Structure 1
Amino acid sequence: MTHRIVNSLVVPAAHLDEYRRRHDLLWPEIRAGITAQGGRNFSIFAAPELDRVITYVEVEDLGRWHAGAADEATRRWWRHMAEVMPTHPDHSPLAVPLPEVFHQD
C-alpha cells in the first residue's frame, strides 16, 4: 500500500528564496536517505502568502520512513535549515501533518 505523506512547514516568505536555493543544492546524503527510507515522488510546494511550504512524499513503509528522523545526516540538515525556518528545540521543522480528504487515481 502506498502512503502519501503531506506536511505543512513554516517558512517565512522572506526566507523562501534561500530555502529554495538550499534545496537546489540538496546534499547527496539527504537524497540517498530519502531513497533508502523508501521515499519517492518527493515534492515541496511554496505558499509564500501563508509563510508555508507543503511537502509531499510517497512511501510504502511508514515505520521505515519515520525511522529516518534518527539519521545523523537528517539531523545535520535540520540544523542547516534552522537558519531559514523556525524549528523545534531538536531543530526538526515545525510541521503539521495534513490529512487526506480526497484522492483520485
Structure 2
Amino acid sequence: MKRAAFKMKLKPGYREEYKKRHDAIWPELKKLLQDAGIHDYSIFLDEETDTLFAVQKIDGKAGSQDLGKTEIVQRWWAYMADIMETNPDNSPVSIALPEVFYLD
C-alpha cells in the first residue's frame, strides 16, 4: 500500500459549493476510485488560503490524479473547473507533496 498527498487550490468564494459537490460525489466516480484501489481518501481545506490538501491510500497502481484518461474523471474535472484552479484540460492544478514523516 502506498500513501499519496497533494494540494490543489479552490477559487475564492466556493468553499460551500466544493463541499456540496463532494457530498454528492457521483456513484460511478466513487466506484472507479474504489476499483482502482484508492481508499481512505480525505480532502481538507485551509480556510485562510483556500488551499485543498488531499491524502489517500492506494492499493492499486495509480492514485486519483492518474485516472484522467477515463471519461468519468474528465467529466468530473469539467464539472469542477468553475470553482478550482485548473490546467487547460480542466484537470485541477495539483502539486504532489513528499512524505516526510509517518507514524503508524
| TM-score, normalised via structure 1 length | 0.91
Aligned to 1:26: 25
- Higher deviation after alignment, 46-55 or 71-80: 46-55
Provide the secondary structure at the position in 2 that maps to 1:19: helix
Greater percentage in helix:
1
Structure 2 segments unaligned to the other structure (5+ residues): none
Query: Identity over the aligned pairs, expressed in percent?
Result: 32
Structure 1 segments unaligned to the other structure (5+ residues): none
- Provide Cα deviations, 1:23-49, integer angstroms capped at 9, x if missing partner: 011001110011011101011111121
Q: Distance in 2 between matches of 1:64 and 1:43?
A: 13
Count of residue correspondences: 104
The reply to whether residue 61 of structure 1 matches residue 60 of structure 2 is yes
| TM-score, normalised via structure 2 length | 0.92
- Provide Cα deviations, 1:65-89, integer angstroms capped at 9, x if missing partner: 6652211000000000001111000
* Residue pair 1:42, 1:55 contacting (<8 A) in 2 also: yes
Aligned to 1:72: 71
Cα shift at 1:22 = 0.3
Q: Distance in 2 between matches of 1:5 and 1:75?
A: 21
Match for 2:99: what amino acid?
Answer: E
Cα shift at 1:56 = 0.9
Compute the RMSD of aligned alpha carbons: 1.5
Q: Residues 67, 87 of structure 1: CA spacing in aligned structure 2 closer, same or farther, 3 A cutoff?
A: closer
Q: Distance in 2 between matches of 1:49 and 1:56?
A: 19
- Higher deviation after alignment, 59-68 or 29-38: 59-68
Cα shift at 1:50 = 1.5
